[in-house]
Every structure is written in C-alpha cells, then in structure tokens.
C-alpha cells in the first residue's frame, strides 16, 4: 500500500521543505540511544496453511483445524517446483493465524508473498498487493480492537497473471509467504510506513574533494516522510542524527513541521560530514548510520538506515567507477532459492550464501531476476559487494495499462526499499525480453525514465540476449548487460573477447557489461578429456565447465572497459521446466550445487583468481575411479609455489602459471592413490582409485565399495549405506545388464533419482514413503553398456540419496 502526500500540502512542501536545520556536531560527540515508540512483532510462527482455494476462509470463524501447521518463510512448491515436468502447482493458497492486536498505529508487513496477495483481519479487507518479491505493508489499525485476538487471513496466488510481473522466465515461481511477516507498531505521528514498502527515510549525498580513503566533505540531504494519522493538525519535531561506525555523532539537524490530519509531509534536513570515511567496496566497506526521529505528544518514532558515503558511475572506456576510480566488478548472478526450500530461505541460509560468495572473492553480485530480501542488501553493504538489482520484467509483456503500471510499481518498490544501501550500484529494468516490439521498447523507455526521476545518482541497466547487440531494445537503459554463452550455446571459449572488442569498437560510447556467462556441470558426471557437451543432453561433465570458465575469464579480465562481469550462476537453481544434466528441474550452471554442499572445480578457479586468501585445489577430484595409469594432475592455486605428492612420494614443485600448476604423466598404481598438494600451510588431498580390470560380467558391491565418487558411508543398525550426491563407475564388459539396487532406509534420507548410462531409470524415489524406516527395498532395471563402464548416478531432489547394495549381471548369450 502507498500513502500519497496530502494534496493540500503538496504546494507548501516545496516552499517549507528545509526547516530549522542544525549544524554538524563535533566528530567525537557521544550519542545515546534515542527513545522509540516503534516496535516490531515477529509473526513467523503459528500459521495454518491450505493449498488451494477455500470459500469463506477470510472469515474469523472459519474452521482451519484440518489445515497444515507451518512457519514462514514457507512455499508450497518446495517439492514439485524442482522435480521437473513443468507441472508444479500454480494457484491459490491460504494462510491463517491469530494475532494479539496491540495499541497504537498498527501495520501488517509482509517481506515477500508470491505473486498476488489479499489480506483480511477479522474478515475485513486489509489490502491487496500484486508482485511477489518486494515487501509491502497494510495499515490495519481499527480492523480489530486493541488488546483482542484477531484472525489474519492471507490468500496468496502464484498463478500467471497477465497484469503482474513476471510473465515468464527460466526459474520456478515458488508460491507462498516466502519471507518473514511482522507487525509494525508506531504512535499516531510517525515516519511514513506506506511509501512503497520503503523505510520512509532517504539520504541523498554530494561528495566533495574525493580522496583515496576520505573526502573533504559530504553534504547530506535527509528526507523524512512525516505521517499524521490523527484527526487534528499537529506540529512535530523532526531530528536527523548521523553516526559513524563507532556510534559517534558526526552531524545533526532538527526542526519542526506542521502536518495536517491524515497527511504526509516529506521533510528535508541538510547535514554535512567533514572528512567522511568513504565506502570503498571490499577493501573498506565503511558505514555510517542515518537516524530520523519524529516526536509528538510524548512519543518518538525512530527509523535508522545504513549510510555509505561514496559515488558510483559507469564510463564507457574506464568501466565501473567507485569514488571516481576504476573498480573491477567481477562476480556472480544469484537466485534467491535453494534445494528443498525453494525461495523460502532462512536468515542462516542467506548468511551461508553470502559467506560462500565472500570467500570466492567476488566484488559484485547481480541479484536475479527480482528483488531479494533485505538481509542480502544489508550483508552486501557490510562486506563491500557491489550489487545489480532488478525487477522481474522478463520473457514477455502484456500490452495493457495495468501491466505497465505494475512494472512501474515494482520498480518504485525496488528503489524506495533499497536506495539507502551503498552496495546498490545499478537499477535493473528487465532481463531477456523475447520481443523488441514498439510496446516492449516503450515499456523499457518508461522504466528507464522512472529510474532517472527517482534516483539520478545511479544508472539504469538492462540484460539483453536475443537480438543484435545494438537493437533498440538495448538502447533505453543508461548501461547495458549482455547474456553471452560462447562455448556453451554455440561458438567457442575464445569468442567472448573478440565479440566484446567488436562491440566496443562499433559503439565506443556504449557502457557494456557481461551480465551472464556460464556452462552446466554435474558433480557426478566426469570426463577426463571432455568433449563439448550438448546443453540439452543428460551429460554435463564438470570438467567442461572448468575449462569453459578458465578461458572465458582469461578473455574477460583484460577488457577493462567492461563495467561488470557476472558468472551465471553462483548456485544451481530450480527450473521446473528443464530436463538436462543429471536431473530434471535444475539449471546446473552454478559454481556450487543447489544444496550448497559441493563447490565445483570452477568455484576454485575463480577463488584462485579473485580471493586474497591462499588457495590450493586439486581439480578433477571427482573423476574416480580411473581406468588408465597415466594422468595429468591440475591444481588451482594463487600461491607462488605448489608441491605435489602421490602416496607420500614427492613429485616436485611447480610455479603456477595463470593460477594453474600442472604435473604431466603422473602414474597411478592399482587401487587407492592419495594425492596431496601443498603450499605453505594450505593443503588439499584427494583419493583416486585406479582399476585396470576388464571383461567383468557381474558387479556385487556394497556401500563401501571404492568405485564410488563422493558421498558418505554411514551405518544404521549395523548396515552400511552411502548417502549424499554420488556415483559409481564399474569397469565391465559391454552388453545388457540387469541391475538390482538395495535400499535399507536410514533415519534420514530424501527424494532422489537414479541415472544409469546417462538415462534416468528411477525418478523421485522416496524409500521411506514406500516401505517405512529401515525396511528393505529393491529396485531393478535393465541398462546397455557400450563403453566398458557401468555408470550409476544417485542424485537428490530433496535431502540425500542413499543406497546399500548394488548387483549387476550381464545377460547370457552376449
């Protein structure tokens, strides 16, 4: 819900904008905590949920005793949204819970609900919101009496809606209350809570005399939207306090404002910080805090926002400029979802994700393809990660006033809710529209104009893929990103550099980024000397992805006119319509698996290039067992020298060339081979099995068999089983094999697929659902072996894959 500025006060606003402004206080002045009448009540727990529509579910007396008990964040597509088939449920779902209504001005806040939401309190309509990824609030004061228990009912619908973004896209649209829910309680005169979900406090800055760490000064214009929800005019005090990272006050301003009944008045107060410490990205992400206080009638409402003092710009030749200096933005595209949870991610999930990005050494993240939760933006501020953030305007559009209005609404929500974040550098107005019609161009033009009007301090951007590089669709935003997959969807690894040079020469004023580049990879699919895979096939060897990124990064890093480069993508992500690689329902171009358990080799290639921490990583580590003794060993490293040993025997040291150290012609012995790479105190170790046997026509292997790659061997009730994401590779004679898999369900497992010879032979197996806990289950199938190796892949959809025993017998007469 958006509260407009009261029309009777609009003209007065421009003449009394700046009121009784104070001067900056000394840098080391202490500041104590301000009194606050604002409280936030967590409403994440105690919900009842029903999938599907229910007549009358908004009524307080509706019987929901048979509904499922859930907590939020929650999605109803955690299972079916990532199992393939493009058949996941898209429709309505209902949530209900009881809430004790406090005294005061009460707002119900949803941090995200996908896609369209309607909310009732005690059967009375609180509001309607269209858009699945931005926060929104409704004023629910008066819908239930203070001190009483009220029923909150929410109908959420993730059906495709012709009037609401997104209409398409290569990702699952997870339905539900996918982020936190709160009650926000203020006094009757307060900082506006209904400004497109924003904080109601906004800081614009002018930085003067830029230095390396500090500037000469920063002039701050702090806008506080003051809302009066009483029936009488009021005179409120407004105070702005700027504090540094040590919580010392560095500037203040104060004054009074007259606000009419039911009105909102934006108040701008100016303050100046002398010799401000600049926000300088990863090397020095220094943050101040801006605090706004609105006082009236004994109540003080306080809102604080982060403040990083810096400038951002993009130059067609020098690339991205942070505080007037070139700053290399290289990083990843990030979806807000993970295996088994969909987009209903917890705070600890987000923290883990950002930790992996931080350790990678990325300086930038593109948040795709929608607004993410506030925790991501807060972490980026604190860790100095430059952000590209965008609205879900992708694939197709509806030519209607309603659709265009919704696109603008979602863009305004994105900007108002996130403009206080120093990390945000560009506003994305869309991605990969599959039309360059006049209407599509008009929409992008309108959105680019909205960015210019709302936030002239940051440029707009757009990611294009599907037309010529200079098509009109790529000409509306102030900067432009290109989604290019040379060496995956056609072309070769080495094409991306000449392509970028050609475009830069053709249009030297164009401000260019590579917004996506990447290749698929399965951690259970290995090929020592990989050939180019077919993207739509069921074989995406991990080695090819590593080679792809090695060469693509070599090409990109030297093109300093590129203002940003973003790997597609940080984590494998759910796309229920895909069926490729080792499983359906997944885009497997991530540097890390969707469950965050395995970082692929390509992750370590970038870590060796980007991170300041010592990196030593033996590549092709999951390429086991091996069937020929002679092999090369490749190690990614960012150290001066790396030593390698095999079974305790030193093989010498190498100086990495372009972050790669190579030992050629290493000879493995039959059985287990332990390789250890070392540089100083940093060590990496892998075990490769060499099996040179041939001609076997049977397999009889338990969970501990060394022909497995990855996974963990555990025991339950004396019986061993392997769990995780893993594969077995058995050398056998060619022919047709009858395979029997035995499963003894442990206390924990999940839903998983089994692939044999790159074909899916068992889909969505849930052992516990079929036979219960610790009961035996057998699954049989027939497979043709043509390359002398029986490949079996165990790939989770949710939780872990498991197996206890494997037998395979070649059919007679072959």
d(CA 152, CA 362): 42
Which run of H or E residues covers position 700?
Answer: strand 698-702
The residue behind tokens 């951002």 is 312
Cβ-count burial of 319 within 10 angstroms (0-12 exposed, 13-18 middle, 19+ buried)? buried
Distance of CA 207 to the CA centre of its chain: 31
Longest dimension (CA), the chain: 97
**Three-state secondary structure call for residue 576:** strand
- Catalytic residue numbers? 432
Count CA atoms closer than 13 A to 545's CA, side-chain side.
34
Which run of H or E residues covers position 607?
Answer: helix 601-610
| Residues whose CB is less than 8 angstroms from the CB of residue 591 and which lie 6 or more positions away in sequence, other chains included | 332, 360, 567, 569, 570, 571, 599, 600, 602, 603, 606
For 401-418, give the secondary structure using H, E and C: HHHHHHHHHHHHHHHHHH
d(CA 650, CA 410): 60
DSSP class per residue in 472-505: GGGSSSSSEEEE--TTBSBS-GGGHHHHHHHHHH
DSSP conformation class of 635:
E
DSSP conformation class of 639:
S
Pairing of strands 325-326, 330-334: unpaired
Count CA atoms closer than 13 A to 782's CA, side-chain side.
4
> Are the CB atoms for 572 and 587 separated by under 8 Å?
yes
The residue behind tokens 């058995």 is 730
d(CA 649, CA 761): 42
Which run of H or E residues covers position 365?
Answer: strand 364-367
d(CA 342, CA 334): 14
> Are the CB atoms for 308 and 242 separated by under 8 Å?
no
**Three-state secondary structure call for residue 447:** helix
- Torsion angle defined by CA atoms of residues 364, 365, 366 and 367, in that order, rounded to the nearest 10 degrees: -150
H and E: helices and strands count for the chain: 9, 51
DSSP class per residue in 173-225: ---B--S-EEEEEE-SEEE-S-STT--SEEEEEEEEEE-SSBEEEEEEEEEEE
What b-and-e string marks burial along 233-258, b requiring 16 or more CB atoms within 10 Å of the CB? ebebbbbbbbbbeeebbbbbbbbebb
> Are the CB atoms for 576 and 80 separated by under 8 Å?
yes
> Are the CB atoms for 282 and 253 separated by under 8 Å?
no
């Amino acid at each position: 819900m958006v509260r407009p500025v009261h029309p009777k006060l609009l003209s007065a606003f421009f003449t009394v904008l700046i009121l009784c402004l104070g001067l900056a206080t000394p840098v080391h002045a202490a500041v104590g905590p301000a009194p606050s009448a604002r409280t936030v009540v967590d409403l994440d727990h105690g919900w009842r949920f029903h999938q599907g529509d229910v007549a009358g579910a908004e009524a307080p007396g509706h019987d929901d005793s048979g509904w499922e008990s859930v907590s939020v964040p929650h999605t109803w597509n955690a299972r079916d949204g990532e199992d393939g088939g493009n058949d996941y449920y898209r429709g309505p779902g209902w949530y209900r819970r009881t809430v004790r209504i406090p005294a005061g001005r009460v707002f119900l806040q949803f941090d995200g609900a996908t896609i369209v939401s309607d909310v009732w309190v005690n059967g009375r309509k609180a509001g309607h919101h269209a858009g699945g990824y931005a926060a929104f609030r409704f004023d629910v004061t008066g819908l239930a009496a203070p001190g009483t228990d009220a029923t909150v009912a929410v109908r959420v619908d993730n059906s495709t809606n012709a009037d609401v973004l997104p209409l398409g896209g290569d990702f699952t649209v997870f339905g539900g209350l996918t982020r936190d829910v709160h009650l926000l309680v203020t006094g009757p005169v307060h900082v506006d809570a209904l400004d497109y979900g924003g904080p109601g406090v906004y800081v614009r800055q002018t930085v003067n005399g830029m230095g390396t760490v500090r500037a000469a000064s920063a002039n701050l214009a702090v806008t506080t939207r003051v809302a009066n929800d009483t029936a009488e005019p009021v005179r409120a005090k407004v105070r702005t306090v700027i504090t540094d990272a040590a919580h010392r006050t560095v500037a203040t301003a104060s004054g009074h404002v007259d606000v009419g009944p039911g009105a909102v008045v934006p108040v701008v107060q100016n303050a100046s910080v002398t010799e401000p410490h600049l926000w300088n990205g990863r090397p020095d992400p220094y943050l101040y805090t801006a605090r706004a206080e609105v006082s009236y009638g004994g109540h003080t409402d306080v809102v604080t926002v982060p403040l990083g003092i810096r400038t951002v710009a993009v130059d067609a030749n020098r690339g991205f400029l942070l505080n007037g200096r070139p700053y290399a933005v290289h990083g990843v595209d990030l979806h807000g979802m993970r295996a088994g949870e969909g987009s209903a991610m917890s705070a600890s999930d987000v923290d883990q994700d950002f930790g992996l990005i931080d350790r990678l050494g990325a300086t930038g993240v593109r948040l795709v393809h929608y607004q993410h939760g506030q925790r991501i933006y807060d972490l980026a501020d604190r860790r100095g990660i430059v952000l590209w953030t965008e609205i879900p305007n992708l694939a197709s559009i509806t030519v209607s006033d309603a659709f265009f209005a919704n696109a603008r609404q979602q863009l305004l929500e994105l900007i108002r809710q996130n403009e206080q974040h120093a990390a945000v550098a560009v506003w994305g107005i869309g991605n990969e529209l599959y039309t360059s019609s006049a209407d599509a161009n008009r929409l992008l033009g309108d959105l680019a104009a909205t960015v210019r009007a709302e936030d002239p301090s940051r440029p707009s951007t757009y990611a294009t893929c599907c037309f010529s590089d200079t098509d009109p669709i790529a000409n509306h935003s102030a900067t432009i990103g290109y989604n290019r997959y040379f060496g995956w969807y056609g072309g070769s690894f080495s094409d991306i550099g000449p392509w970028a040079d050609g475009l830069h020469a053709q249009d030297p004023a164009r401000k260019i980024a590579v917004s996506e580049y990447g290749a698929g990879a399965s951690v259970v699919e290995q090929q020592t000397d990989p050939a180019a895979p077919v993207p739509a096939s069921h074989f995406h060897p991990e080695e090819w992805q590593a080679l792809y990124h090695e060469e693509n990064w070599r090409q990109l890093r030297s093109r300093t006119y590129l203002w940003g480069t973003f790997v597609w993508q940080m984590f494998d992500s759910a796309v229920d319509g895909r069926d490729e690689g080792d499983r359906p329902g997944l885009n497997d171009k991530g540097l890390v698996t969707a469950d965050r358990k395995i970082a692929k080799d390509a992750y370590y290639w970038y870590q060796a290039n980007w991170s300041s921490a010592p990196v030593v990583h033996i590549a092709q580590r999951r390429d086991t067992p091996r069937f020929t003794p002679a092999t090369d060993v490749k190690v990614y490293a960012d150290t001066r020298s790396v030593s390698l040993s095999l079974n305790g025997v030193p093989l010498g040291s190498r100086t990495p060339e372009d972050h790669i150290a190579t030992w050629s012609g290493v000879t493995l012995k039959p059985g287990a081979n332990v390789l250890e790479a070392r540089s100083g105190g940093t060590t990496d170790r892998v075990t490769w099995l060499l099996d040179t046997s041939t001609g076997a026509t049977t397999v009889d292997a338990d969970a501990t068999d060394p022909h497995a790659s990855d996974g963990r061997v555990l025991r339950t009730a004396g019986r061993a089983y392997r769990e995780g994401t893993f594969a077995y590779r058995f050398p056998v004679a060619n022919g047709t094999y009858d395979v029997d898999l035995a499963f003894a369900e442990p206390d924990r497992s999940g839903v998983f697929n089994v692939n044999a010879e790159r074909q899916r032979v068992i889909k969505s197996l849930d052992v516990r659902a079929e036979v219960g806990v610790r009961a035996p289950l057998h699954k049989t199938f027939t497979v043709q072996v043509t390359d002398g190796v029986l490949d079996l892949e165990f790939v989770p959809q949710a939780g872990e894959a498991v197996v206890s025993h494997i037998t395979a017998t070649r059919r007679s007469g072959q």
